[in-house]
Amino acid sequence: MTADLALIWPELILTIGGLITLMLGTFLGDRQVGLYQLSALLTLAAAAAAVVALFGVEASVFSDTLAVDAFGGFAKLLIYAASVMCILIAPRFFGGTMRAEYPVLILFAALGMGVMASSRDLMTLYVGLELNSLAAYVLASFMRHDDRSSEAGLKYFVLGALASGMLLYGISLLYGFTGTTAFDGIAAAMGAELNIGLIFGIVFVLAGLGFKISAVPFHMWTPDVYEGAPIPVTTFFASAPKVAAMALMTRVVIDAMGPAVGAWQQIVIFLALASIIVGAVGAIGQKNIKRLLAYSSINNVGFMLIGLAAGTQAGVEAILTYLLVYVVTTIGAFLVVLRLRDAAGNQIESIPALAGLSQRRPGPAAAMAVFLFSLAGIPPLFGFWPKYLVFEAAVNANLVPLAVAGIVASVIGAFYYIAIIKTMYFDDKSETEIPATGGAIVEDAVITASALWLSVIGYLFIPVLAVVSANAAAVLF
């Protein structure tokens, strides 16, 4: 037990830090929000340092229910980085309504996501997922006096409960027909014989996980929750939980269901194509930038699933690279949205209000153009590289029709990204005034650094990314 505890320092640090921050908030109230923010940031930094210290260690702890490996470590670092950013930008958005609970919820959500990324057992999978979900439901409805936020939290909770029920039913089927909840035991049973019960178990488990990554047809909550939740929370939902859920789904498919390729590959291919097409077509008519970015996240999840459908180490490497580039791009895009306010200080979310933005705010307009082109995967921006990797993995796995369909559908997706850029650069200025706002040094620095990295500069990091992603993906094979 002591040896196991020594290998889960990231989770222990988050647990202790979260409890300390919670106790500070309980006794000091909302007067010392900066203190809670600092406590949460230090906790996440310490947890990230613990993950780095454990790189090179490959072990299973607590009776093989949790894995300590490079794959989980890669996902955790992305999760913690996104969580840090969402804590940093929160006070600027919430202002006087910032509450002590916000950083605490982020910490416990990060704890749950870390467990998700390291799970090697259906029980720990569910515990981690629900720990993250319970915090996420509260975060979605964080602005209690805003009807949109309350509605977002309620929708997320109801549909999340439905997805959890489907996942639990799938878990019960897998346990009933294999006699174990351990991933290696399930893999051994599927390698021996695949019966109708196991097939149904695979379907329901993938359906439950598909909800968490916003894959079609389990995406219905995403646009409404993204639109209604506060921008820092939407930024969080679009980044960290996507990494955790995608890492979890990859580990489940490759580690637990690997021998049953014929059963899960068809489901993943359907989820990939449906997400790419619906994400692209659904975004075309959107007038709210947060809803459009929600459909963009659905679309990008589809491309990641192409890498998963390949079922190879190259496919998993492509997913990890895609997640890194996607997180940087998404956070950058939402930070630009956060910086856009009218003369009265109200948040601007309407796409038509961005007309002529390049003439009034050339910096944010240029950065947003870089982020949108990168999300579309248009070369020479770095967002093209992960798309190339997932398509290459699909072709090498003899899934040429899937790769062709993905490439064709990506052209549709490029339309709505270019439409926003056309609005910002070529339409007449809207009547909405968008004055420059000061005091956002952190946001401006992150936006600038992200935009520069997503330019051709990002290609300089390909050798490093290739080594890191290969080491992380090799763990599953």
Alpha-carbon dihedral sign for residues 417, 78, 163, 137 = negative
- Tell me, rounded to whole angstroms, the distance of Cα 204 from its chain centroid: 21
SS3 221: coil
Q: In terms of DSSP bridges, do strands 66-68 and 59-61 run parallel, antiparallel, or are they unpaired?
A: antiparallel
Q: Is the pLDDT of residue 279 over 80?
A: yes
Amino acid 363: pLDDT: 84
DSSP letter, residue 55: T
How many Å apart are CA 443 and CA 234, to the nearest integer? Answer: 16
The pair of three-digit structure tokens given for residue 75, joined into one six-digit string: 């996902």
Query: What local confidence, expressed as pLDDT, does residue 438 receive?
Result: 59
What local confidence, expressed as pLDDT, does residue 1 receive?
Answer: 65
Residues 6+ apart with CB under 8 A from 161: none
What's the rounded Cα separation, in Å, for the pair 317 and 307?
A: 8
Q: What is the mean pLDDT of the chain?
A: 88
What's the pLDDT band for 318 if we cut at 50, 70, 90? very high
Where would I find the H helices in 311-456? 313-339, 357-360, 362-376, 384-396, 400-426, 441-454
pLDDT, residue 128, reads: 92
Cα–Cα nearest to 271, from 352, 210, 189? 210
Cβ neighbours of residue 19 under 8 Å, at least 6 residues apart?
Answer: none
| Omega before 463 within 30 of 0, i.e. cis | no
Check pLDDT > 60 for residue 141: yes
Residue written as token pair 């194509």: 273
More confident residue, 344 or 242: 242
How confident is the model at residue 435, as a pLDDT?
66
Give the residue-averaged pLDDT of 318-322. 94
Q: What is the mean pLDDT of residues 260-269?
A: 88
φ, ψ at 195 (rounded to 5°): -105, 180
Residue 200's pLDDT band (cuts 50, 70, 90):
very high
Q: Which of 465, 314, 274 is nearest to 398 (CA)?
A: 314
Number of residues assigned to the chain: 477
pTM: 0.93
Pick the residue with more confidence: 211 or 146? 211
Least confident piece of the model among 129-133, 286-290, 343-347 = 343-347
Angstrom distance (rounded) from CA 394 to CA 308:
9
81-90 in b/e form (b: 16+ CB < 10 A) is bbbbbbbbbb
Question: Is residue 439 scored above 60 in pLDDT?
Answer: no
| Contact criterion met (CB below 8 Å) for 286 and 278 | no
- Residue 302 is predicted with a pLDDT of 92
Query: CA 470, CA 383: separation in Å to the nearest integer?
Result: 19
How far is residue 80's CA from residue 14's CA, in Å, rounded to a whole number? Answer: 10
User: For residues 283 and 85, what is the distance between their CA atoms, to the nearest angstrom?
Assistant: 26
Distance CA 391, CA 176 (A): 37
Please calculate the CA angle 409-307-187 and round it to the nearest 5 degrees: 135
The per-residue pLDDT for 142 is: 83
The pLDDT of residue 386 is 92
pLDDT at 43: 94
pLDDT digit string, tens, across residues 394-403:
999 998 999 9
CA distance 435 to 433: 6
In this model, does residue 432 exceed pLDDT 90? no
Residues 335-340, mean pLDDT to the nearest whole number: 86
- pLDDT-based confidence at residue 271 (cuts at 50, 70, 90): very high
- With contact defined as beta carbons under 8 Å apart, do 239 and 372 qualify? no
CA–CA dist 332, 338 (Å, integer): 10
- Are the CB atoms for 136 and 152 separated by under 8 Å? no
The mean pLDDT value for 110-121 works out to 92
